[in-house]
A and B are shown apart, each in its own frame.
Chain A
Amino acid sequence: GDSVTQTEGQVTVSESKSLIINCTYSTTSIAYPNLFWYVRYPGEGLQLLLKVITAGQKGSSRGFEATYNKETTSFHLQKASVQESDSAVYYCALGITGNTRKLIFGLGTTLQVQP
């Protein structure tokens, strides 16, 4: 089957410190899935943060970066210096395309940035 694992349910980081949120995936449906990070800010809906469709490539947005690593089946989210406004829930997702279209989400990681 297909699955996405985010090992940390909650992460607390002090403002201006670095961040890494781990994401690994497993798939039997598609050899090269598209990989996504979505974010949900308090009171808002899910928003696309970044997307990478090619293995080995890096995506970036709003200071966040993630590299599609097919060897380790990972797509970790990183930021060099977090801000209080980054406090949100971050979801890693795997995209299944073709006739069966779906996003397979991880459980999400709640990021709390302390001032």
Chain B
Amino acid sequence: DTTVKQNPRYKLARVGKPVNLICSQTMNHDTMYWYQKKPNQAPKLLLFYYDKILNREADTFEKFQSSRPNNSFCSLYIGSAGLEYSAMYLCASSGGHQDTQYFGPGTRLLVL
């Protein structure tokens, strides 16, 4: 089973309010990723967890936070949502030396 689950599938948030998105996988993968996808743009990596080590992309370092309380779960946290955060957020995981990433269905975030 190569299932990655994301909750919620749709999220409506208000400007200035926090947002927390959840991802889970049951494949015992050591790495979990978060990508942002906006219309007419390519999916863009925001951050990834390798085991318990968080790596954030330099250009989004201050905008997103994440936690991984155990191997199966990973969250994406926005402290204060702005209009520019409206996007599809894709979670993925990969395991061992395999760099194939398995994606969840995505969470569509709309910030108003």
Residues of A within 8 A of B (CB): 4, 34, 36, 38, 44-48, 51, 91, 95, 97, 99-108
| Interface presence of B45 (CB below 8 A) | yes
Which residues of B5-51 are within 8 A (CB) of A? 31, 33, 35, 40-45, 48, 50
| Size category of the binding interface on chain B | 20 to 34
Contact indicator A107/B41 (Cβ below 8 Å): yes
Contact indicator B99/A45 (Cβ below 8 Å): no
Contact indicator A97/B103 (Cβ below 8 Å): no
Partner of B42, one of A48, A51, A95, A105: A105
Contact indicator A107/B103 (Cβ below 8 Å): no
Contact indicator A101/B43 (Cβ below 8 Å): no
Residue of B nearest to A44 (CB): B105
Residues of B within 8 A of A (CB): 4, 31, 33, 35, 40-45, 48, 50, 55, 57, 90, 92, 94, 99-106
List of A residues within 8 angstroms of B104 by Cβ: 45
Partner of A103, one of B101, B105, B106: B101
Complexed CA–CA distance, A107 and B40 (Å): 7
Q: How far in angstroms is the closest Cβ of chain A from B24?
A: 14
Complexed CA–CA distance, A46 and B33 (Å): 13
